[in-house]
């Protein structure tokens, strides 16, 4: 079990603290993605220095290599990757949908071929729980099918109800431990009544937290916000709410307005590897020629090592020369930017002026 304490709440949004056996998670929180037991290009201590309280690992990738059994043999995921804070592990459902080859979904689970070498695997709710237990996850996610987009109402309903049956099996197979948690995942596509059916099914089972899945899959921000407008309020107010795979800064601010507490996304790290940076002036591409002779910092309002020590001209040179330091520095900056954004959000909620903060931020992003 974990404890979720709400510090300040408005009608829809709130700031609080999730207490786990490995430390506290300040909410709203953004989790840098460490898919394969590493946040790409970052030392764990540097990830911590950006302000991150928790990171995310992934069942699908770690079951393929080095395998959960090897990670367990080497002391568990925390020791394996030298991260002493909380870790949430995605159950693998999304990656099976997006990466795996020749997948076959049955009532039992999913049989699929690895995108790495074509090896066949059988992933069930019980096996997903076993893998996450072997990894030593602090927050385990129930195994689900990520409903594809677009999907007909019939397809969304069948997918969601299968996920709810798998949620029940995940709950039964999960081994409770002090300071650990199991989250259920709401599905139902873009259909309000299906989302409500899913939320009711999960709350009847009783989970430590609730995720909203099946969004940020191509539906666009307006539709995503519409679904969040009603879905977040369907979930227990005293439990953390986690929006999976989201997103860009404006997505996060808008989702917090609608009651979401936790986020994860590959965007800041992936963008950094390709020369894109999120700054107080908006998104920039450091590869553009206009930065070649710029002696100024990447973001004058940012105090991260990238911005305080290096010029735009130097960063531009690193990318043009294909030097690995370029992606490392921009990744560091982007994760710092995201964590600073979360800190600013928490402060604005605590001060009672988050509505104004969000309005100004989203106006700038438009």
Q: Where are the domains of the chain?
A: 3-264, 266-366
Between CA 20 and CA 47 the distance in angstroms is 19
Q: How many alpha carbons fall within 13 Å on the CB side of residue 165?
A: 10
Question: Distance (Å, rounded) from C-alpha 293 to C-alpha 27?
Answer: 40
Q: Which pLDDT tens digit goes with each residue over 247-299?
A: 999 999 999 999 999 999 999 999 999 999 999 999 999 999 999 999 999 99
What is the reported pTM?
0.97
Residue 64 has pLDDT above 80, yes or no: yes
Closest CA to 312 of 293, 332, 327, 329: 293
| Helices marked H in the chain | 44-49, 59-64, 68-73, 77-81, 93-98, 125-135, 153-173, 192-205, 221-231, 249-257, 267-273, 305-309, 312-320, 325-351, 354-365
Which two structure tokens, joined as six digits, stand for 168? Answer: 């029940």
- In this predicted structure, the answer to whether residue 97 has a pLDDT above a threshold of 80 is no
Q: Which residues are catalytic?
A: 90, 264
User: In the prediction, which pLDDT does 348 show?
Assistant: 98
Mean predicted confidence (pLDDT) in 209-214: 97
Q: How confident is the model at residue 26 (pLDDT cuts 50, 70, 90)?
A: very high
CATH H-level, domain 3-264: superfamily: Queuine tRNA-ribosyltransferase-like (3.20.20.105)
Would you state the pLDDT for residue 161?
Answer: 98
């Amino acid at each position: 079990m974990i404890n979720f304490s709400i510090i300040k709440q408005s009608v829809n949004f709130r700031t609080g603290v999730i207490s786990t056996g490995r430390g506290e998670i300040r909410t709203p929180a953004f989790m840098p993605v460490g898919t394969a037991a590493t946040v790409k290009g970052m030392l764990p201590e540097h990830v911590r220095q950006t302000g991150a309280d928790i990171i995310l690992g992934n069942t699908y990738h770690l079951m393929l290599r080095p395998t959960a059994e090897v990670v367990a043999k080497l002391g568990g995921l925390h020791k394996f990757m030298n991260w002493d804070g909380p870790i949430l592990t995605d159950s693998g459902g999304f990656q099976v949908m997006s990466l795996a080859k020749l997948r076959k979904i049955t009532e039992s689970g999913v049989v699929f071929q690895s995108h790495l070498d074509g090896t066949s695997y059988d992933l069930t709710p019980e096996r997903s729980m076993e893998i996450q237990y072997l990894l030593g996850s602090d927050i385990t996610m129930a195994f689900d099918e990520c409903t594809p987009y677009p999907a007909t109402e019939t397809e969304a309903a069948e997918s969601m109800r299968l996920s709810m049956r798998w949620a029940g099996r995940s709950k039964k197979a999960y081994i409770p431990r002090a300071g650990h948690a199991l989250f259920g995942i709401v599905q139902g596509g873009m259909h309000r009544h299906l989302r409500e059916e899913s939320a009711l099914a999960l709350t009847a089972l009783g989970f430590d937290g609730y995720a909203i899945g099946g969004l940020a899959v191509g539906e666009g921000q307006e539709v995503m916000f519409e679904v969040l407008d009603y879905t977040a309020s369907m979930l227990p107010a005293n439990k953390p709410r986690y929006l999976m795979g989201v997103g860009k800064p404006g997505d996060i601010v808008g989702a917090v307005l609608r009651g979401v507490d936790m986020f994860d996304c590959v965007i800041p790290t992936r963008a950094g590897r390709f020369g894109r940076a999120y700054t107080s002036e908006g998104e920039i591409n450091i590869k553009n020629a206009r930065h070649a002779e710029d002696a100024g910092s990447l973001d004058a309002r940012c105090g991260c090592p990238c911005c305080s020590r290096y010029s735009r001209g130097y960063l531009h040179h690193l990318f043009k020369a294909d030097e690995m330091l370029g992606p490392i520095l921009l990744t560091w900056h982007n994760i710092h930017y995201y964590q600073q954004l979360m800190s600013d959000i928490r402060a604005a909620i605590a001060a009672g002026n988050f509505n104004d903060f969000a309005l100004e931020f989203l106006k700038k992003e438009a």
